Amino acid sequence: VFIVRFLPSRKIAHLHSSASILEAAREAGVGIESTCGGKHKCGKCKVVVKSDPQSLSPPDEIEQKILGPSLLQRGYRLACMARVSKDTSVFVPRESRSAAQVILTSARDLPSPNSLRSPLKAYDIEVPPPTLSSPIADRERLLNLMASEYRLPHLATDPHVVRKIPFALRQNEGKVAVMVRKGQEIIGISEKKYSTAWGVAVDLGSTTIVAYLVDLFGANIVATKSTMNPQIPYGDDVISRISFCQQEAHGLQKLHKAAISAINGLIAEACEAADIMPEHIMEVAVVGNTAMHHFFLGVDPRFVSLAPYAPCLSSAQAYKASELGIKISNSGYVYLPPIKAGFVGSDSIACVLSTGLYRSRTNSLLIDIGTNGEIVLGNRDRMICCSTAAGPAFEGGHVKWGMRAASGAIEQVRIDPKTLDVTLSTIHGQQPIGICGSGLISAVAELIRTGCISHRGSFNKDLNTNRLRKGQRGMEFVLSWKEENPTGHDIVITQKDIAELQMAKGAIRAGISILMESLGSDIKRIYLAGAGGNYIDPSDAQTIGLIPSPPGCRIIGCGNAAGHGACLALIDLKSRRHAEKIANKMEYVELAGSARFQDLFFSHMFFEPPH
Amino acid sequence: VFIVRFLPSRKIAHLHSSASILEAAREAGVGIESTCGGKHKCGKCKVVVKSDPQSLSPPDEIEQKILGPSLLQRGYRLACMARVSKDTSVFVPRESRSAAQVILTSARDLPSPNSLRSPLKAYDIEVPPPTLSSPIADRERLLNLMASEYRLPHLATDPHVVRKIPFALRQNEGKVAVMVRKGQEIIGISEKKYSTAWGVAVDLGSTTIVAYLVDLFGANIVATKSTMNPQIPYGDDVISRISFCQQEAHGLQKLHKAAISAINGLIAEACEAADIMPEHIMEVAVVGNTAMHHFFLGVDPRFVSLAPYAPCLSSAQAYKASELGIKISNSGYVYLPPIKAGFVGSDSIACVLSTGLYRSRTNSLLIDIGTNGEIVLGNRDRMICCSTAAGPAFEGGHVKWGMRAASGAIEQVRIDPKTLDVTLSTIHGQQPIGICGSGLISAVAELIRTGCISHRGSFNKDLNTNRLRKGQRGMEFVLSWKEENPTGHDIVITQKDIAELQMAKGAIRAGISILMESLGSDIKRIYLAGAGGNYIDPSDAQTIGLIPSPPGCRIIGCGNAAGHGACLALIDLKSRRHAEKIANKMEYVELAGSARFQDLFFSHMFFEPPH
């Protein structure tokens, strides 16, 4: 058994065989950034050996190339490549720690309960006792009453409910309350009246998971809890997690269980905050992108990443929570709204539901910006959608100083047009340690506005400022001098970073253009959804040409629209029907292999000439 | 921690607190007879202390009275009363060991598969691949095909099947076999064709459990496995098990788990015999009396034993096997035929199904003889049933030398009318160690025929034989001298034993009479069902007046009719429908509190005068 100690946290992994530092970190629960998912590509998982360098396998050519001689000399190693051969201690530098992302949890208020059709209804009833001349069974007397008095024939009951019936009926002379799901099944029986039915809506994002505890009868969110997705150590984005589950024995099980236990943890936290028991929760609704949806169900999503990108299942599902290991009432259910395609998941459907795009007369555009940009354009008559592989730039990946939207991330940049002095805003106002997606967009927008870069994206070398300089691999612009931040380095934007953003925004904008060519360019509303979308400054987004600027169009950051849509699906059967209709009706445009998309992608990689 | 060692088996129990020897025996898996279920009444659980007598609590007045001074002096103790206070060794004498009952497993042949409607059907299909222009999800392409080609729309799928679909579809260019249950759900998918669907029918008796492994498509029983019910240590009959589960913490759980694990064991054995895996089994059908049915489902049957004896549930049920812990295919189901009443279970319904009573033009009488005698009389137009508490005499309880139908039990007695010499037949031809139910009936019938007892049941004291003598508590007749058997005692029938049989047969015959008064006495067939019934000599039964003797009536020992009926319910949806109709249609007559039944009971306690 080897022991690996992680500094500064002092967490420890016990290894039974040789493993990489990254694997040991997963074991110990230490978050190390690994945008490429341990594939020896991103170079984000740098750690420093603090014990005998011989305790790790020597760096091979690839690792030497990624790190360079100077870092190697200072004891730096890539956690994904260095394998443990003895007890060792490693230090995880600040920039390699996977920071807690700022999680967008705010969902809009829910509609009035009067306008909803709840999947759960409570009935207060009085079941007559059995008699010697008619010793009808307990369950059958109860069911007969529900059929005759409430026109609910053939109600199902699972063993858990059946086991409770005889005692409940004898507690209070046959007076009981029953909870009926969708007019089809008794999922609860109690000698006390039900004050409400409790439910949980879950937005299962690749990066963050948010759970809303909802009082279904009052249509109130009573607690909101969120966490980083514990699948992150297995790969930052869904593609690397899919490869993880292809390559690792029990990889799928690990990802499935990570999602389930994280959700169980959030449910327990939310229940504690509201002073109820998880057993009181009767229904859960979960939305996520297709890969997360599949991981949640324990379904291997590997074929989603291969042409023609078909999901394993797409229609709405309802399973007993216990079948999936979700810890709520034994008889409770998990509902999953439908997904549309391999890269348009139920989170997108939930956004369409939440924004009301599906019932608007005029065209609306909905963009969920992330590694994959899901785009929906439409109105109540027609909706079309597509998904573009934007790459990780919007989440800080492939960007020299990129990071997630966590404390200390630069989220807004202002450059004085005359002096080219820089003013930064960071998340939580802390000293800057990197740049998140909205910060990158903001910086590039300012560089465009101040003429520092051309519409093709290249730096204007004639500028008279020491911020613009030649770096190791081409030109770079200094946002923060090393004296102004705790990293010990200048924080810069490189020519390559700008190119990454150009590709990301080109892909999304090309997707938008494809949809507009099909449905028209008269757009009255643009919804920016998801954590990324919500924090992006609309004018920055228009400056870099990420989104179009149709006349008279409102741009709306719509918060956690997926979470809000999950809440609607949780509490309202009509919303479930709408979600199912949206999935059926919405047309999916596959961009992979489209020559037109390629053309548009290349032309949208450039910025529009400044006004 | 105390250690209790059981001789001669040398099994050991480790106790963490003081417990009775009987509890220790349950812990160690040592079978000790306990007809009263540990209630200090039956005196069957005698053991002999082999270590320091001080290692057990001293015998109290009740124990002293039951054992008597002679046994006490020889170190005998009642296992249910003696509590362990130190390490100890006890010897379990042969007569106290719960012997393995001879289990009646033979079920008649099943009908031709052509006449059946199987709940499971296999389809060999070819699912088209997804395309870029129509990347429909795997599950949805499969379901669309089943809807369009086989008119099976809206098929359900559980997560286990969903997880297999993507791989199965890609194994052999979309060629797969699917197993569909009741036209409603895909419960299996395979890249190989299904040669058959495997199922298991279970007769869950209070004393014995029999499992039949059935090839559903061929309608063949391919293996039969049986075991003693492991619930026996918790009480010999259902009433003592019900009290156990009222009095013991987790008593219900213990009984539930004992039944489930015994069935899982039988399934595993049967699969081994047939060289298949338990995962290949797709459907299980279980029949049993109402208490066993409830225990199987984990439902507390305590109210079944209280007036008005209403069951907790009665209609037919189907649950996922995994919900009940039954280890077959993850997606397989357990079907339970309906029960009729608190003391007319699905085993009786299965017997009606098996005998075909429900479709005969003429009246048939069906009697399942046990602690409770379930009786059905009827024809295809009308059926009535009742249940009588016969007491344990037919299973050897409350009878001085009574025992279950195990090796060494006297099962037939012949008495020479002149010499009054006795000839015994025992089970497996071994030396006699006790008398089972059919042996008691046989002995009493012979005593009647030879004039040894009067029609009121009392011994004729004027007989000139040393076999008839005055014992400790009244007259007794010696069946086997102590020189002729290994017990070291004379095996006798006492006046009290005869009285027990009179009460038992009086109860059953009174039940029969009640039904005949309602439906007529013209009976063409009498079916004797269950292990007890099958081994009873029909003429002995008529001699003691257990069953009537209508003219032109055939008496048929119908083997394990409940097991055969369970097989029918397993393989045939029409039989399930019949079972459900039988349960609805059959009228139940409650005998508790019936004055007419009391009258008949007393008059039928006497024997009919010899012809």
- Which residues in chain B have their CB less than 8 angstroms from residue A291's CB? none
| CB spacing of B308 vs A140 below 8 angstroms | no
User: What pLDDT, on a 0 to 100 scale, did the predictor assign at position A131?
Assistant: 94
User: What pLDDT, on a 0 to 100 scale, did the predictor assign at position A207?
Assistant: 85
Q: Which residue of B has its CA nearest to A158?
A: B319
For the stretch A157-190, pLDDT in tens is: 999 999 999 999 999 999 999 999 999 999 999 9
3-state secondary structure of A354: helix
More confident residue, A449 or A609: A449
Q: Which residue of A has its CA nearest to B325?
A: A159
Within B179-324, residue ranges assigned H as helices are: 238-247, 251-274, 290-297, 321-324
**Chain B interface with A: residues with Cβ < 8 Å:** 130-133, 135-141, 157-159, 162-163, 165-167, 170, 297-300, 302-303, 307-315, 319, 323-324, 339, 341-342, 588, 590, 592-593
Task: State the average pLDDT over residues A381-392.
Answer: 92
For the stretch B112-137, pLDDT in tens is: 999 999 999 999 999 999 998 899 99
For the stretch A433-449, pLDDT in tens is: 999 999 999 999 999 99
Question: Does the pLDDT of residue A456 top 80, yes or no?
Answer: yes
Nearest Cα to A259, choosing from A278, A287, A220?
A287
Question: Does the pLDDT of residue A592 top 90, yes or no?
Answer: no
Question: Does the pLDDT of residue A609 top 70, yes or no?
Answer: no
CB A590 within 8 A of CB A308: yes
| CB spacing of B314 vs A158 below 8 angstroms | no
Identify which of B101-110, B245-254, B317-326 has the greatest average pLDDT: B317-326
| CB spacing of A312 vs B158 below 8 angstroms | no
- Extract the tokens encoding B191: 């890249």
Which of A166, A312, A323 is opposite residue B139, by nearest beta carbon?
A312
DSSP state, residue B304: G
Question: Does the pLDDT of residue A389 top 90, yes or no?
Answer: no
Question: Does the pLDDT of residue B492 top 90, yes or no?
Answer: yes
For the stretch A341-375, pLDDT in tens is: 999 999 999 999 999 999 999 999 999 987 789 99
User: What pLDDT, on a 0 to 100 scale, did the predictor assign at position A468?
Assistant: 95
User: What pLDDT, on a 0 to 100 scale, did the predictor assign at position A105?
Assistant: 61
Which of A131, A136, A308 is opposite residue B130, by nearest beta carbon?
A308
CB B107 within 8 A of CB B559: yes
User: Rounded mean pLDDT of chain B?
Assistant: 92
**Among A284-288, A291-295, A397-401, B197-201, which stretch is predicted with the lowest mean pLDDT?**
A397-401
Task: State the average pLDDT over residues A145-168.
Answer: 97
Count other Cβ atoms within 10 Å, centred on residue A380: 13
CB B302 within 8 A of CB B252: no
- Extract the tokens encoding A477: 């612009």
User: What pLDDT, on a 0 to 100 scale, did the predictor assign at position A351?
Assistant: 96
Which of B170, B323, B593 is opposite residue A158, by nearest beta carbon?
B323
- Which phi and psi (to 5°) does residue B576 adopt? -60, -45
User: What pLDDT, on a 0 to 100 scale, did the predictor assign at position B182?
Assistant: 98
User: What confidence tier does A107 reach under pLDDT thresholds 50, 70, 90?
Assistant: low
Which of B297, B300, B314 is opposite residue A137, by nearest beta carbon?
B314
More confident residue, B197 or A532: B197
ipTM: 0.85
- Extract the tokens encoding A223: 């607690």
Task: State the average pLDDT over residues A184-209.
Answer: 95
Taking one residue from A and the other from B, the number of pairs with CB-CB distance under 8 angstroms is 130
For the stretch A484-512, pLDDT in tens is: 998 889 999 999 999 999 999 999 999 99
**Among A321-325, A369-373, A546-550, B422-426, which stretch is predicted with the lowest mean pLDDT?**
A369-373
User: What confidence tier does B397 reach under pLDDT thresholds 50, 70, 90?
Assistant: confident
- Which phi and psi (to 5°) does residue B450 adopt? -90, 5
Task: State the average pLDDT over residues A303-326.
Answer: 96
- Which residues in chain B have their CB less than 8 angstroms from residue A339's CB? 137
| CB spacing of A132 vs B592 below 8 angstroms | yes
Q: Which residue of B has its CA nearest to A252?
A: B163
- Extract the tokens encoding B577: 């429908």
Q: Which residue of B has its CA nearest to A141?
A: B313
More confident residue, A228 or B356: B356
| CB spacing of A166 vs B132 below 8 angstroms | no
For chain B, give the percent of residues with pLDDT over 70: 97
Q: Please give, rounded to a whole number of angstroms, the shortest distance from the CA of A315 to a CA of chain B.
A: 7
User: What pLDDT, on a 0 to 100 scale, did the predictor assign at position A398?
Assistant: 86
**Among A239-243, B532-536, B601-605, which stretch is predicted with the lowest mean pLDDT?**
B532-536
pTM above 0.80, yes or no: yes
User: What confidence tier does A40 reach under pLDDT thresholds 50, 70, 90?
Assistant: confident
Question: Does the pLDDT of residue B45 top 70, yes or no?
Answer: yes
User: What confidence tier does A101 reach under pLDDT thresholds 50, 70, 90?
Assistant: low
Question: Does the pLDDT of residue B387 top 70, yes or no?
Answer: yes
User: What pLDDT, on a 0 to 100 scale, did the predictor assign at position B121?
Assistant: 98
CB A447 within 8 A of CB A477: yes
| CB spacing of A588 vs B133 below 8 angstroms | no
Q: Please give, rounded to a whole number of angstroms, the shortest distance from the CA of B548 to a CA of chain A.
A: 27
Which of B137, B319, B592 is opposite residue A312, by nearest beta carbon?
B137
**Among A154-168, A185-199, A417-431, B4-18, which stretch is predicted with the lowest mean pLDDT?**
B4-18
At position A360, the amino acid (one-letter code) is S
User: What pLDDT, on a 0 to 100 scale, did the predictor assign at position B521?
Assistant: 92
User: What pLDDT, on a 0 to 100 scale, did the predictor assign at position A578?
Assistant: 98
User: What pLDDT, on a 0 to 100 scale, did the predictor assign at position A103?
Assistant: 60
Residue A246 has, within 13 A of its CA and on its CB side, a CA count of 14
User: What pLDDT, on a 0 to 100 scale, did the predictor assign at position A464?
Assistant: 86
| CB spacing of A162 vs B299 below 8 angstroms | yes
Task: State the average pLDDT over residues A122-135.
Answer: 95
Task: State the average pLDDT over residues B310-314.
Answer: 97
- Which residues in chain A have their CB less than 8 angstroms from residue B586's CB? none
Sheet containing strand B120-126, edge to edge, reads B120-126, B175-181, B185-190, B156-157
Task: State the average pLDDT over residues B429-450.
Answer: 93
Question: Does the pLDDT of residue A416 top 70, yes or no?
Answer: yes
Task: State the average pLDDT over residues B377-383.
Answer: 97
Q: Please give, rounded to a whole number of angstroms, the shortest distance from the CA of A44 to a CA of chain B.
A: 34
Torsion of CA A562, A567, A569, A574, to 10 degrees: -120
User: What pLDDT, on a 0 to 100 scale, did the predictor assign at position B533?
Assistant: 67
SS3 content of chain A, % helix, strand, coil (to 5): 35, 25, 40
For the stretch B28-37, pLDDT in tens is: 777 787 767 6
Question: Does the pLDDT of residue A611 top 60, yes or no?
Answer: no
More confident residue, A203 or B473: A203
User: What pLDDT, on a 0 to 100 scale, did the predictor assign at position B406?
Assistant: 83
Task: Number of helices (H) and strands (E) in chain A: give both, helices first.
Answer: 16, 27
User: What pLDDT, on a 0 to 100 scale, did the predictor assign at position B496?
Assistant: 95
